[in-house]
Amino acid sequence: MPVIHITNRAGAESTLEAESGISIMENLRDNDYEIDAICGGSCACATCHVYVDEAWAARLPAQDDDEKGLVEDEPTYKPNSRLSCQIEMTDALDGLKLTIAPEA
Amino acid sequence: MSEHIVIVGAGHAGGTLATQLARAGDRFRITLIGAENWPPYERPPLSKQLLMGEVPTEKVFLRPESFYADKGVDLRLGTEVTSIDRAGKTVTLAGGESLAYDRLALCTGTAIREIPVAGRDLPGVHYIRTIDDTLAIREKAGSGARVVIAGGGYIGLEAAAALRKLGCDVTVIEMMDRVMARAVAEPVSRFYEAAHRAEGVHILLETGVAEIGGNGRAEYVADSHGHVHPADIVLVGIGVVPVVALAADAGLAVDDGIVVDARARTSDPDIFAAGDCTRHPNALLGQTVRLESVQNAVDQARCISNELTDKGADYAEVPWFWSDQYDLKMQMAGLPAPDDQVVVRGGPDSRSFSVFYLRDGKVSGVNAINVGADYVRGRKWIGEGRTVDAARLADTEIPIKEV
Ligand SMILES: Cc1cc2nc3c(=O)[nH]c(=O)nc-3n(C[C@H](O)[C@H](O)[C@H](O)COP(=O)(O)OP(=O)(O)OC[C@H]3O[C@@H](n4cnc5c(N)ncnc54)[C@H](O)[C@@H]3O)c2cc1C
Ligand code: FES
């Protein structure tokens, strides 16, 4: 199983054994990592916002306009912001590091 | 000893509340009671991805079914709560069992509004409120199946889009002179009407359903103009009503929804309520409202969990909502009134535009179709009570951030 290294809102770090083939959002949500993911992954809410480690940013699938439009305007936006529902977990992402963004 | 929280209704609000309270560890003992046999799930996909068969059923669960037991939540499915004894602080379940609570949360949601015409009880008349409803429709929704949908609101239209995609022949019957009339301004209605027609959906406006008929099952819908539409599936989407009987029978204040205060408390200090079933004040809107949205279900559930964990704060959220039809993603925020000024930004021809609503110059609402940035801005402006210049807003040469 690939793993994701996660820093939660309180700053605590943990490692999650992730499931490939579903989104990173679903991995986080199903394991109770604080994200609301209100729209269930429809790219409509930005409540699945995470910051990905710089070293990983380039290795992730590119952001489409939809995701960009939504996340860029979040008050908590950073250049390494991503909506985790828009990234599918794969074995190639084994070791990915991310931080859950604060509540907007 | 842990405080026992009993949550009635294992829907979006109830499931969210249980999940949030479980994070407090031993502080609470949580019992989550749901009349349905499914663990808490998201309803939006019922008229979208699940109806199209794009996702397996488990994909719409809020959490995997095993989550609740893992977190110590006693999830009782297929169980209806039939009454509340406020003096004794117990609830009675359908089997007769009684359960004591320290605090009770009512998250009973809404029930479908039945269509008041002859033939409404015939087999083959469907609604979309539960997973079971959607699966039953999908089973019959093969290519060429004739579907008549009563109601051109967003659920009817989402279902129309999904069923077209499955190859069904779809007719939508709408009483008003435009679709989604309660939710959006005329330019948005007209845009969606045209989009559906272009996809081959027959839309009949200013038309009612007179009768549903057939031999032992629904086989046709007769409309108010005397036309008869043969049907393999009749789908009714004419709205919902809040489920308030439990609350009303227990003597709690009810007014088209269970009345709660800004902390989601009912008129009994030990009983809270959240989600579609509540009428609640929203300081940001300066009025009391009853909303039917995931946003409100989640935010109100959070309001209760904050209150119970000593982080209480008054409810003040910008309402927001979305709707997916074909490749059109509409995101909506605010609660515009029918007489608000309507400003269209961008051309509907591009299939990417937005409509802003202004009240006394202040942004009161936004509908953004395939233009997420306008939605995000609009939602922010509504929260800030910001005044914008209508002419600048309508000018797409000016980036939304600079309006
Ligand atoms: C087809 C469809 C599409 C939708 N699309 C969107 C969308 O795109 N975006 C959006 O924001 N919202 C959408 N909604 C609305 C959204 O799903 C609701 O606002 C949300 O589910 C409300 O959550 P709730 O917990 O208040 O109620 P519900 O999710 O309805 O849950 C209430 C639960 O309580 C149970 N219950 C009631 N009484 C009792 C009792 N006495 N004992 C035990 N259990 C009881 C019911 O069986 C039900 O399971 C959609 C709804 C539908 C039906
Ligand atoms: S879950 Fe809503 S945008 Fe990702």
Mean pLDDT of chain B: 96
From residue A26, give the alpha-carbon distance in Å to each of A20, B41, B257, B382.
Answer: 10, 13, 32, 30
**CATH 3.40.50.300 is right for the domain spanning A3-100:** no
Pocket of ligand 1 (CB under 6 A): B 8-14, 33-36, 43-44, 46-47, 80-81, 107-110, 128-129, 155, 243, 246, 275-277, 292-295, 297, 321-323
Predicted pLDDT at A75: 85
Give the residue extent of every domain in chain A: 3-100
In a domain, B120, yes or no: no
Answer yes or no: do B7 and B102 share one domain: yes
Considering only CA atoms, which of B209, B308, B330 is closest in space to residue B7? B308
In a domain, B40, yes or no: yes
Sheet holding B3-8, edge to edge: B73-76, B28-33, B3-8, B103-106, B271-273
**Which of B308, B342, B361 lies at the terminal end of a domain, its last residue?**
B308
B240-242 and B228-230: which strand pairing?
unpaired
**Per-residue pLDDT for A104 more than 80?**
no
Answer yes or no: do B7 and B100 share one domain: yes
Q: Where in the sequence is the domain holding B16, given as residue range(s)?
A: 3-111+240-308
Answer yes or no: do B181 and B131 share one domain: yes
- CATH assignment at residue B386: 3.30.390.30
In a domain, B118, yes or no: no
Angstroms from A96 CA to nearest CA on chain B = 23
The phi and psi torsions of B234 (rounded to 5 degrees) equal -110, 125
In a domain, B263, yes or no: yes
Token pair in block for residue A59: 């290795």
Answer yes or no: do B218 and B257 share one domain: no
In a domain, B117, yes or no: no
Q: How far away, in angstroms, is B109 Cα from ligand 1 center?
A: 5
Task: Classify the phi-psi angles of B243: left when phi > 0, otherwise alpha if psi is within -120 to 50, otherwise beta.
Answer: beta
Strand partners, B333: B320, B366
How many domains does the structure of chain B reveal? Answer: 3
CB contact, 8 Å: A92 with chain B? no
- pLDDT per residue of chain B (403 residues) written in tens, 0 to 9: 799 999 999 999 999 999 999 999 999 999 999 999 999 999 999 999 999 999 999 999 999 999 999 999 999 999 999 999 999 999 999 999 999 999 999 999 999 999 999 999 999 999 999 999 999 999 999 999 999 999 999 999 999 999 999 999 999 999 999 999 999 999 999 999 999 999 999 999 999 999 999 999 999 999 999 999 999 999 999 999 999 999 999 999 999 999 999 999 999 999 999 999 999 999 999 899 999 999 999 999 999 999 999 999 999 999 999 999 999 999 999 999 999 999 999 988 889 999 999 999 999 999 999 998 899 899 999 999 999 999 999 999 999 989 9
- The complex's ipTM works out to 0.90
- Pocket probe mutation, ligand 1, options B84, B108, B305, max atoms within 8 Å of Cβ: B108
* Residues 6 or more apart whose Cβ sits within 8 Å of residue B322: A39, A42, A44, A45, B44, B329, B330, B331, B332
How many Cα neighbours within 13 Å face the side chain of B314?
10
In a domain, B91, yes or no: yes
Q: Do B329 and A30 touch (CB under 8 A)?
A: no
Answer yes or no: do B102 and B249 share one domain: yes
In a domain, B248, yes or no: yes
Q: What is the distance in angstroms between the CA of the first residue and the CA of the last residue of chain B?
A: 56
